[in-house]
Amino acid sequence: MKTTIALVAALVSGSAFGACEGKGWPETPDVPNGAEATFEQMMEAREAMADYVKAGEAYMECVSPSDSFVHNYYVDRLVRAADDFNAEREEFLRREAIAAN
């Protein structure tokens, strides 16, 4: 009985790992310098950042880190990348507002 339970557990965990196989943490997208970037560059960066966040969330859901330290590490990576983008976005918007006046 114990052997059967262990075998079922191994198969289930193996198939769960198989679903995550080949998926690693996504590469953080480059964030353009808001003081020099064009509108198109900022829009591309926004889309890349949204894709990065979605891929990071999917990765965390796939591997389901049970250790809160590991979970928080991944969340922190997403937050830092988004914060970097938002800082450059604010710089871009400031520059555009000054140029419009």
Tell me how far apart the alpha carbons of residues 45 and 29 are, in angstroms, rounded to a whole number: 7
Model pTM? Answer: 0.74
Closest CA to 59 of 17, 15, 20: 20
Measured N-to-C along each axis, helices 2-20 and 39-63 cross at an angle, to the nearest 10 degrees, of: 170
- Strand, coil or helix: 101: coil
Spell out the per-residue pLDDT of the chain, length 101, in tens: 554 444 333 333 444 445 566 678 999 999 999 999 999 999 999 999 999 999 999 999 888 878 889 889 999 999 999 999 999 999 999 999 998 88
- Residue 23's pLDDT is 76
Structure confidence at residue 66 (pLDDT): 81
What tokens were used for 91?
């710089």
Tokens of 92: 């871009």
Position 100 scores a pLDDT of 86
Q: What is the pLDDT at residue 92?
A: 96
Cα–Cα dist 92/33, whole Å? 8
